[in-house]
């Protein structure tokens, strides 16, 4: 995402990446923090920020709670300074995974 410091002073921003899993029979959190990035911006500076997301970050416990699974479906990705202040929302579709 592109981040701009429109203020009169230099500052830091912490962007957080949250993932919402597709609805399924499993009991999962509404959304989970999967990464973050602390960014230093000079006044007037604009930066492109990326937060890596790996397949393992999409894993949740199976219904039997004996293994991790990646549920096929559409995941919602949210980035912002907090879970309540989302500035960018996107989706990621997972159709099937082979292997672990």
Architecture category of domain 2-94 in CATH: Sandwich (2.60)
Looking at residue 25, its pLDDT comes to: 53
* pLDDT in the model for residue 87: 94
3-state helix/strand/coil string of the chain: CEEECCCCCCEEEEEEEEEECCCCCCCCCCCEEEEEEEEEECCCCEEECCCCCCHHHHCEECCCCCCEECCCEEEEEEEECECCECCEEEEEEECCCCCC
Record the pTM. Answer: 0.83
Q: Which of 20-24, 43-47, 49-53 has the lowest mean pLDDT?
A: 20-24
Q: How do residues 57-87 score in pLDDT, each as one tens digit?
A: 998 877 777 788 888 899 999 999 999 999 9
Cα torsion 19, 21, 22, 23: sign = negative
The whole-angstrom separation of Cα 87 and Cα 83 is 10
Higher pLDDT, 31 or 99: 31
């Amino acid at each position: 995402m592109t981040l701009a410091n429109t203020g009169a002073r230099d500052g830091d921003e912490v962007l957080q990446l949250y993932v919402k899993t597709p609805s399924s029979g499993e009991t999962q959190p509404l959304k989970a923090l999967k990464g973050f990035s602390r960014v230093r911006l000079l006044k007037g500076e604009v930066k492109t920020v990326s937060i890596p997301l790996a397949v393992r970050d999409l894993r949740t416990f199976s219904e039997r709670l004996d293994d991790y699974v990646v549920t096929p479906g559409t995941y919602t990705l949210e980035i912002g300074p907090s879970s309540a202040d989302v500035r960018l929302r996107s989706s990621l579709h997972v159709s099937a995974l082979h292997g672990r």
